[in-house]
Amino acid sequence: MASSSKPIILATRKLPQPVEERLSGAYEAILNPDDRQLPIDELLRIAEGVDGILCTLTDKMTPPVIAALPARVKILATFSVGYDHIDIPAAKARGLVVTNTPGALTDATAEITFLLLLGAARRAYEGETMLRSGQWTGWAPTQLMGRQLHGKRLGIAGMGRIGQAVAKRGLAFGMAIHYHGRRAVDLPTELPATFHADDADFLAHCDYLSIHMASTPETRHWLNARRVGLLPQGAIVVNTARGDLVHDEALIEGLTNGHLGAAGLDVFAGEPNIDARYLPIPNAMLLPHLGSATVQTRCAMGFRALDNLDAYFAGKAPGDKLA
Ligand code: 8YV
């Protein structure tokens, strides 16, 4: 490793060019131009010579991995708002600083939530499949009739930053907003929404359910068979948060037995090896974790991670310090 007065940072994945340019200007950067997912052993070997790691949600920073990080590594700046891939107590115990990128991807995620809400409600996948496979015989009065958003109830599980951005858009679509979480949120007057402390009461009010909770051991499989059963007949479920918030078995059963109207999913348990039973379900619109995938947002996430690194190496507290 070349000696340098600049801190050495490993970027575990290929990042947008403006982000890599800024990283390479301010630091001695170790980049991953082929965007290869580094096996943990290799990551730990490279980490021998680095001061900080700019990681992503595909790097599983479990307690043993964190314990095995060379002492030289002082900061882990994740290129994500979610940090379920990093064991925060283990990082704290090791004295490792951890940061994330809250705020940078709120609008992009709220927008993709609406892509899925609309796509699931209006049967976009079935329509596109019909067209591209040459099965479309022409317009028909009863063809692929879906559901509307206007006048319906949008239930938001987890009214944080992204949940509120979705609620705001829901109001613009003429939806009534209901939400559930650990506690009622102090919302601005222009964001009228009904809080339900009780999950059963909440779910009974969801014509559409959009999940925006953090993934923690407590929220794992939150949408289980019991909760699917509490949704009104024909309800539409959208998940842009984390796959493990949903119990796949329960959602697949609800979609195939006719209780649920449709689903729109951007995230899956075990990505990229998702439950293959989703694949043939016509009333499920499936995306490969694209929630934050706009040029603008992926650059903003990278810059936010760099702001955190910059603060740390300038001897200041990073703005988004988790540990
Ligand atoms: C997503 C993410 O697009 O930053 C994260 O944690 O997973 C994003 O890249 C996401 O699903 C938004 O919550």
**Interval 295-322: pLDDT, tens:** 999 999 999 999 999 999 999 999 999 9
Quote the percentage of the chain above a pLDDT of 70. Answer: 99
Q: Is the CB of 267 under 6 A from ligand 1?
A: yes
- Judgement on whether residues 132 and 185 belong to the same structural domain of the protein: yes
- Judgement on whether residues 57 and 192 belong to the same structural domain of the protein: no
In a domain, 3, yes or no: no
Q: Is the CB of 305 under 6 A from ligand 1?
A: no
The residue nearest atom 3 of ligand 1, judged by CA position, is 291
> Of 242, 247, 298, 304, which one is the catalytic site residue?
242
pLDDT digits (tens, 9 = 90+) for 212-224: 999 999 999 999 9
- Judgement on whether residues 232 and 163 belong to the same structural domain of the protein: yes
Q: Is the CB of 297 under 6 A from ligand 1?
A: no
In a domain, 1, yes or no: no
Respond yes or no: is residue 42 known to be catalytic.
Answer: no
Burial zone of 12 (CB within 10 Å; 0-12 exposed, 13-18 middle, 19+ buried): buried
Give the model's confidence band at 64: pLDDT under 50 very low, under 70 low, under 90 confident, else very high: very high
Q: Is the CB of 112 under 6 A from ligand 1?
A: no
pLDDT digits (tens, 9 = 90+) for 140-177: 999 999 999 999 999 999 999 999 999 999 999 999 99
In a domain, 221, yes or no: yes
3 has pLDDT over 60: no
Q: Is the CB of 81 under 6 A from ligand 1?
A: yes
> Of 123, 289, 298, 304, which one is the catalytic site residue?
289
Count of structural domains, the chain? 2
Query: How many angstroms separate the alpha carbon of residue 31 from the centre of ligand 1?
Result: 22
- Judgement on whether residues 279 and 135 belong to the same structural domain of the protein: yes
In a domain, 320, yes or no: no
In a domain, 201, yes or no: yes
- Judgement on whether residues 97 and 122 belong to the same structural domain of the protein: no
In a domain, 302, yes or no: yes
pLDDT digits (tens, 9 = 90+) for 48-63: 999 999 999 999 999 9
- Judgement on whether residues 115 and 98 belong to the same structural domain of the protein: no
The ligand 1 atom at the shortest distance from the C-alpha of residue 101 is 4
The residue nearest atom 4 of ligand 1, judged by CA position, is 80
1 has pLDDT over 90: no
Respond yes or no: is residue 242 known to be catalytic.
Answer: yes
Respond yes or no: is residue 190 known to be catalytic.
Answer: no
In a domain, 321, yes or no: no
In a domain, 233, yes or no: yes
Give the model's confidence band at 4: pLDDT under 50 very low, under 70 low, under 90 confident, else very high: low
The ligand 1 atom at the shortest distance from the C-alpha of residue 108 is 3
CATH code of the domain in which 96 resides: 3.40.50.720
Q: Is the CB of 241 under 6 A from ligand 1?
A: yes
Q: Is the CB of 86 under 6 A from ligand 1?
A: no
- Judgement on whether residues 203 and 302 belong to the same structural domain of the protein: no
Q: 39 vs 13, 43, 59, 205, CA distance in Å?
A: 12, 6, 9, 45
What's the domain range around 141?
106-286
Query: How many angstroms separate the alpha carbon of residue 59 from the centre of ligand 1?
Result: 14
The residue nearest atom 9 of ligand 1, judged by CA position, is 292
**How much is the pTM?**
0.96
2 has pLDDT over 90: no
- Judgement on whether residues 248 and 122 belong to the same structural domain of the protein: yes
Q: Is the CB of 291 under 6 A from ligand 1?
A: yes
The ligand 1 atom at the shortest distance from the C-alpha of residue 290 is 3
Unique residue bearing structure tokens 């790691």: 53
